[in-house]
Amino acid sequence: MANDDKSTATPRLRFPEFREAEGWDRIPGDKLFDSINSRDATAGLPILAITQENGAIPRDQIDYHVSVTEKSIESYKVVEPGDFIISLRSFQGGIEYSNYRGICSPAYVILRRKDEGSDRYFKCLFKSPRFIQQLTRNIEGLRDGKMISYKQFSEQLIPTPVPAEQQKIADCLASLDEVISAQRRKVEGLKAHKRGLMQQLFPRAGETLPRLRFPEFRDGPEWSEEKLGNLVYIRSGNSPSQYKLSVTGAHPFVKVEDLNNCMKYQTAAREYSDDTNGLVPSQSLIFPKRGAAIELNKVRLSARELLMDTNMMALTPSGECRVEFLFYYISHIGLSGIADSSTIPQINNKHIIPFKVVVPLPAEQERMADYLSSLDAQIAAESEKLDALKTDKRGLMQQLFPLPEERL
């Protein structure tokens, strides 16, 4: 397409007052945004981290520990509130926005809007799946780690309605963002409440009484100290070569990566088998026995009979130890508390058998497990609402923004 050609687009969904208006202009990026290269090393400005989740944000507000020298800071670019930043990962997460004045690496491309309009509109557009699709389709070599240049950005045809329609779209998405943020805070608040509650419901190291007990157990006996190996049957997984595996079958064959598909009850896997050798009973704890997944505390509860890979272990409670209680107990102390402290964390029988735990009587175990399970159910329900809101927003953005078009 020639630069002077008129290109327009119409989204599937428009607000009533704009439905009879002309289509949106598709405008080359350099007609809308300037590339900014200003530097001000003496200003003492904060160094900004460019993130997909939070946009441009001062590094001291997040866990970011890359050191820089005073000399290198001299070459850093100044970012103003309202600027957009093209990062190395823009092909995955779009173009980021800054609410802050600061400095960032000279490797980044800083964009500043030229004319009137809504920053928030472009902020939403540049993070939309359709715009990201446009970038990845039109610019070759991005997945090889190459930065999107200002020249390449200039060739992108950006759907741009009149300022009034920009603002209407921005206001709509902002109100939805507020609802999503409120729901996210609700979920995070419930999770924080659970973490704090578990700190009180389980005794501290070296103690046999928790700081908080349910009323009916406050005059009950102290918890008894036991070796974990006396409370459970220990099982290890088997090599996949021992089984005939397929996408269907009677029993899930669980690998460490399958633990990512749930938070508590393990019912599924990517592969299945009808074999029964090494079958783990329902109502067992399963977890990884080596590697980084131990640090991530991936403890799950088998809700059906299943098979396991060699990198997995299972604990099936015996006697008066209740599996739901044990799930929360192990989740609380953490798998890393059981594992050895070598370079690569590992858990074997020699770690589990002598490991000391303290447990109450079965009735108190069940009361604690029931309460924490109900709290988990509440967290899951609110998390589903949050996911639904995010899905609604993605669907709305698909309709509010037109389909991408080829670059110039």
Residue with the bigger pLDDT between 288 and 406: it is 288
Residue type, 268: A
User: How high is the pLDDT of residue 168?
Assistant: 97
Q: Is the pLDDT of residue 16 over 70?
A: yes
Q: Which of 326, 341, 359 is the last residue of a domain?
A: 359
pLDDT confidence of residue 3: 43
Is residue 218, in this structure, part of any structural domain at all?
no
Residues 152 and 235 in one domain: no
Same domain, 284 and 346: yes
Is 216 among the domain residues?
Answer: no
Instruction: List CB contacts of 79: < 8 A, sequence separation 6 or more.
Output: 48, 56, 85, 98, 100, 101, 102, 103, 104, 110
128 inside domain: yes
351 pLDDT band (50/70/90 cuts)? very high
Q: What CATH number does residue 304 fall under?
A: 3.90.220.20
Q: Judge whether 261 lies within some domain.
A: yes
Domain of residue 267 covers 224-359
The predicted model gives 183-187 an average pLDDT of 98
Most confident range, picked from 40-49, 62-71, 303-312: 303-312
Q: Flag whether pLDDT at 374 surpasses 60.
A: yes
> Is residue 219 in a domain?
no
- Put simply, whether the predicted model's pTM sits higher than 0.95 gets the answer no
Provide the pLDDT for residue 53: 87
Q: Do residues 203 and 257 share a domain?
A: no
29 and 48 in a single domain? The answer is yes
Is pLDDT at 143 greater than 60 in this prediction? no
Q: How confident is the model at residue 408 (pLDDT cuts 50, 70, 90)?
A: very low
**Whether residue 201 sits in one domain with residue 126:** yes
The per-residue pLDDT for range 163-182, each reduced to its tens digit, is: 999 999 999 999 999 999 99
Does residue 217 sit within a domain? Answer: no
Q: Does residue 54 sit in the same domain as residue 72?
A: yes
Same domain for 274 and 186: no
Least confident of 59-73, 195-209, 241-255, 338-352: 59-73
**What was the pLDDT predicted at 341?**
77
Q: Output the pLDDT for position 2.
A: 39
State whether 183 and 254 are in the same domain: no
* Same-domain pairing of 278 and 382: no
Q: How many domains does the chain have?
A: 2
State the average pLDDT for the chain. Answer: 91
Tell me, yes or no, whether 37 and 154 share the same domain. Answer: yes
CA 162 to chain centre: 35
Q: Is the pLDDT of residue 122 over 50?
A: yes
Instruction: Mark which of 359, 376, 398 sits at the end of a domain.
Output: 359
Lowest mean pLDDT among 87-101, 172-186, 393-407: 393-407
Q: What is the pLDDT of residue 349?
A: 96
Can you list the pairs that 318-323 forms with residues at least 24 positions away whose Cβ atoms lie under 8 Å? 318/231, 318/232, 318/233, 319/231, 320/361, 320/362, 321/231, 321/232, 321/359, 321/365, 322/362, 322/365, 322/366, 322/369, 323/283, 323/284, 323/285
Classify residue 237: in a domain, yes or no.
yes
pLDDT in tens, 313-329: 999 999 899 999 999 99
The answer on 137 and 25 residing in a single domain is yes
Q: 94 and 168: one domain?
A: yes
- pLDDT grade for 138, boundaries at 50, 70 and 90: low
